[in-house]
A and B are shown apart, each in its own frame.
Chain A
Amino acid sequence: MSEEQQLRLQAFLDGELPESDAREVLAWTQRDADAAALLTELRNTRAAIAKSELHLSVPETREFYWSKIEREIQKLEPVEKEIAAPILNWRRLLWPLGTAAICFVVAMMEIPRVNIVQPVAVVSQDTDETVVETDQANSDATTYRDEADGTTLVWFSAAADANPISGKMPGAIN
Chain B
Amino acid sequence: MSGKDFTNAKDDALVKAARRGNMQAFEELVARHRDKIFARAFSMMRNEDDAVDLSQEAWVKGWQRLKQFQGESSFATWMTRIVINLCLDQLRRQKRHRTESIEGMDEESGGVERQMPVVTVNPTERLERGELRKKIDGAMGKLSEEHRTVLVLHEFEEMEYKEIAKTVDCSIGTVMSRLFYARRKMAALLVDLRKEK
Contact = CB atoms under 8 A, between A and B. Distances in A.
Interface stretch (B88-96, B99-107, B177-185): B177-185
Nearest to B53: A68
Given A72-B56, A79-B21, A49 B180 contact: no
A3 B181 CA distance: 11
B118 interface: yes
Of residues B21, B52, B56, B160, which shows the largest number of chain A Cβ atoms within 10 Å of its Cβ? B56
User: Main SS of the interface on chain B?
Assistant: helix
B154 interface: yes
A73 B137 CA distance: 33
B119 A54 contact: no
A49 B21 contact: no
A11 B176 contact: yes
Interface string A48-66: 1110111111111010011
Contacts of B39: 53-56
B30 A38 contact: no
Interface of A: 1, 3, 6-7, 10-11, 14, 16, 34, 37-38, 40-42, 44-50, 52-60, 62, 65-66, 68-70, 72-73, 76, 78-79, 81-82
A34 B35 contact: no
A59 B177 CA distance: 35
Interface in B29-53: 30-31, 34-35, 38-39, 42-43, 48, 52
Interface in B17-36: 20-21, 23, 27, 30-31, 34-35
A55 B21 contact: no
A6 B114 CA distance: 8
A49 B139 CA distance: 10
A58 B38 contact: yes
B75 interface: no
